[in-house]
Structure 1
Amino acid sequence: MRITIFVVTLLTSVPVLVQAANTTAEQIRSAAASFLDEFSKQQADNGFEVIHKTGRLDSRLALATCNAPLDVSFSGDPWKTTQPTLQVSCRGERPWRMFLNASVSITGEGLVAARPLARGERVMANMIETDSVVVNATRKGVINNVDQLVGMEMRRGVNAGTLMTPDLLSAPAAVTRGDHVIITARSGNFSVNSRGKAMADAGVGDQVLVENLSSSRTVKALVTAPGQVEIPM
């Protein structure tokens, strides 16, 4: 009878011991919070303020024991969303991974329109000012260097205070329809120049049809600089 009681007691205690060793929701939440704290400190050194909060986890969650520190990383770009997802994983003997929602707000100086800007208007430095903005509130990216804005053209009109993002801008045309251009036919280090006329507007890096004024032939060329195009020989 004593043997039977001992066996029953031992068997019923095993699940308790295993569950106690499992990775708990609190451990996962703690690892995620530590990761976000470190991210916040790194961004503070760059002049950004980060406010964060981890998502909710079922307190009954229990994953396999991890005999190594938990790895936490962003599964996407935290600079393009205020609701990034964290990947928490174990690289121990019994590897696993899971995903945890988080709320991350990154505030810092951003470049905004100092006044209303019209479509097609060429951007100048005095049209731009800095303001405190949540820089990851847009998925379109943020421009932090005013030199990247000066000389660009507005794709659409915006109001004063609008955050400047890459989708609002386009490079001005390096050649316009009817412009006379220099056509360079290149093969290795050898090149021949001729005069031509652009058949459409195009920016640097774009292809455009040009008419060779000597031969009256129309060719497709690559715009390499204002007033200059290139074709392979």
Structure 2
Amino acid sequence: MRTQLLVWIMLAATFANQVQARTTADEIREATAAFLETFAATQTERGYKVAFETGNIDNRLALAACSDDLDIEFTGDPWKSEHPSVQIACAGDRPWRMFVTTTVSISGPALVAARPLGRGERVTGNMLETRDVVLNASRRGIITDSQMIEGMIIRRPVNAGSVLTPDLLDAPIAVSRGDHVIITARRGPFSVRSRGKALASASVGEQVLVENLGSARTVKANVTAPGHVEVPM
């Protein structure tokens, strides 16, 4: 009887331990905060300032104890949202995963309009200035190097102090409809040049139809520079 009683006591204790062994809300909260602190420290080393908060976690939460280290990652790009979710997952014997909402603010330098900019204006350095802004407040991205957008065209009016984003800019027209252009037909290291006429307007990197003035053939070419297009042989 004593042996059976001892066995039942041991089984009951094991069961009780299993019931009590839980991943609590406090542990989830601490793991999320540690993950965000590591992210913030990494960005600080790169010259950015990061502030963050962990969203509410129900204190009644009780997930299975995890036999492995918790896996934690953003479910989206924190550089494109101030409210990225964090996924916390356990891949142990009793796997589970959950999501925690967060608030993350990443501040750093970006180009802004130094004055109101009109549609069609060509970008020059004196139209821009650098200010510290919340970089992840916009999903459209930011621009930090003025040389990258020098000469580009303002697509629509921009208020003074507004952050410059790629969607506000167009590449300048490199080839206009009716322009005479140099057509380079290239295959590996070999190339042949001929003269042509653009049948539409296009920027560098875009495709345009051109008429070969020697053969009268119409071909689709890539604009490589003002007045220059290229086709594969």
How high is the TM-score relative to the length of structure 2?
A: 0.90
- Indicate the residue corresponding to 1:200 in structure 2: 200
- Indicate the residue corresponding to 1:146 in structure 2: 146
- The DSSP-based 3-state class of the residue aligned with 1:140 is coil
- The DSSP-based 3-state class of the residue aligned with 2:81 is coil
Unaligned runs of 5+ in 2: none
Q: C-alpha distance in 1, partners of 2:56/2:10?
A: 35
Q: C-alpha distance in 2, partners of 1:56/1:89?
A: 18
- Indicate the residue corresponding to 1:76 in structure 2: 76
Q: State the Cα distance separating 1:55 from its structure 2 match.
A: 1.2
The runs of 4+ residues in structure 1 deviating greater than 4 Å are 2-16
Alignment of 1:152-171 (within 5 A): 152-171=152-171
Is this contact kept in 2: 1:185–1:231, CA < 8 A?
yes
Q: C-alpha distance in 2, partners of 1:191/1:146?
A: 35
Q: Report the count of equivalent residues.
A: 233
| Identity over aligned pairs, percent | 57
Amino acid at match of 2:132: S
- The DSSP-based 3-state class of the residue aligned with 2:202 is coil
Q: State the Cα distance separating 1:17 from its structure 2 match.
A: 2.4
- Indicate the residue corresponding to 1:100 in structure 2: 100
Q: Cα 1:50–1:84, aligned 2, differ >3 Å: closer, same or farther? A: same
Q: Cα 1:119–1:8, aligned 2, differ >3 Å: closer, same or farther? A: same
1:18-69 deviation per Cα after TM superposition (whole angstroms, max 9, x unaligned): 2321111110110000111111112122222211111111111111211222
1:47-96 deviation per Cα after TM superposition (whole angstroms, max 9, x unaligned): 22211111111111111211222221111100000000101112333332
How high is the TM-score relative to the length of structure 1?
A: 0.90
- Range that drifts further, 164-173 or 10-19: 10-19
- Indicate the residue corresponding to 2:55 in structure 1: 55
Amino acid at match of 1:117: L
Q: C-alpha distance in 1, partners of 2:75/2:69?
A: 18
Q: State the Cα distance separating 1:221 from its structure 2 match.
A: 1.3
RMSD across aligned positions (CA): 2.3
Is this contact kept in 2: 1:111–1:129, CA < 8 A?
yes
- The DSSP-based 3-state class of the residue aligned with 1:38 is helix
Unaligned runs of 5+ in 1: none
- Indicate the residue corresponding to 2:131 in structure 1: 131
Q: C-alpha distance in 1, partners of 2:106/2:230?
A: 44
Alignment of 1:150-229 (within 5 A): 150-229=150-229
Q: State the Cα distance separating 1:138 from its structure 2 match.
A: 0.3
- Range that drifts further, 23-32 or 38-47: 38-47
- Indicate the residue corresponding to 1:24 in structure 2: 24
Q: Cα 1:11–1:190, aligned 2, differ >3 Å: closer, same or farther? A: closer
Is this contact kept in 2: 1:19–1:62, CA < 8 A?
no
- Range that drifts further, 172-181 or 79-88: 172-181
Alignment of 1:4-23 (within 5 A): 16-23=16-23
- Indicate the residue corresponding to 1:34 in structure 2: 34
Q: State the Cα distance separating 1:124 from its structure 2 match.
A: 0.9
Q: Cα 1:35–1:207, aligned 2, differ >3 Å: closer, same or farther? A: same
